[in-house]
Amino acid sequence: MVDVLISVDLEGVAGIATKQQIHPGGHDYPIARALMTAEANAAVAGAFDGGATSVVVNDSHGPADNLLGEQLDRRADYVVGDPKPLDMVQEVTPQTGVVLFVGYHAGAADPAGVLAHTYSGGGFADVRLNGRSIGEAELNALVAAAMGVPVGLVTGDDVICAVAEKAFPGVVTVPVKTALGRTAARSKHPAVAREAIAAGAARAVASAISGAIRPVTIPDELAIEAELRPNGAAEMAALVPGTERTGARTVRFQATSPRTALDVLIVWSALTSHYLSR
């Protein structure tokens, strides 16, 4: 018996590869919302098949108002809206048995991932932890690990699945598409992808119940650094207490916990977005 959190993003959903699909106003955005909701439902169904006691789905894309609530599996609660204290892993607690990442994507510095970015779609050229480039999945996994919670499932393109297999002990991965470029992919049919996600979620939850998966290891040092694209953004980000400006476009913060690292990165992202909109 296990409580499950499902964090659902949009860029890694089957059939999604272009920018107009992931932004409100794009002519295929309504279709993308439906595809995202259907993949969330597949993960919910699989989680319960694997032995979940309860499931919460967290909308983790952009302003977090993408999921079609009326179409979600009625057995699951869901989190809508932004900002929220734990961002993409809102509702993870020490009582959560496992976190499932659905529709995820590679980080900003990755040269191959479909719609790859880290938190700020156009603002961060790179985000590094202790000098190593990381993406949203890895930082979210650290936040969960601080509460003793492992990542059991990652779905998305082949690039993020390869990253997850190296980073997360015992994780189940479901590649629903193959990256052909930043805005191009060879995708599985959505129905086929959903079948694979449901099966993967069931395996992941069953593994969590059996104790076969474990949280990622939190490093002793947590130095978070971001390379910002917009002119002037680093100057503003450096005003955040504790932030050190390390270059014309880079800032660094020595965090005391994964949660602190996440908080600072979200603030940097918000400041960067301000410059992008000017």
Residues 6 or more apart whose Cβ sits within 8 Å of residue 227: 124, 125, 126, 127, 128, 247, 249, 250
97 CB burial (10 A radius; 0-12, 13-18, 19+): buried
Closest CA to 131 of 219, 217, 216, 215: 219
Cα–Cα distance measured from residue 185 to residue 14, given in angstroms and rounded to the nearest whole number:
9
Chain centroid, CA 178 distance in Å: 18
Tokens of 68: 């079609």
Cα–Cα distance measured from residue 150 to residue 160, given in angstroms and rounded to the nearest whole number:
17
Residue 40: helix, strand or coil by DSSP?
helix
Residue 269: C-alpha distances to residues 14, 117, 158, 197, 274 (Å): 27, 12, 26, 30, 9
Chain centroid, CA 109 distance in Å: 15
Task: Supply the residues annotated as catalytic.
Answer: 117
Q: Would you tell me how many other CB atoms lie within 10 Å of the CB of residue 218?
A: 13
Residues 6 or more apart whose Cβ sits within 8 Å of residue 208: 2, 97, 98, 150, 152
179 CB burial (10 A radius; 0-12, 13-18, 19+): buried
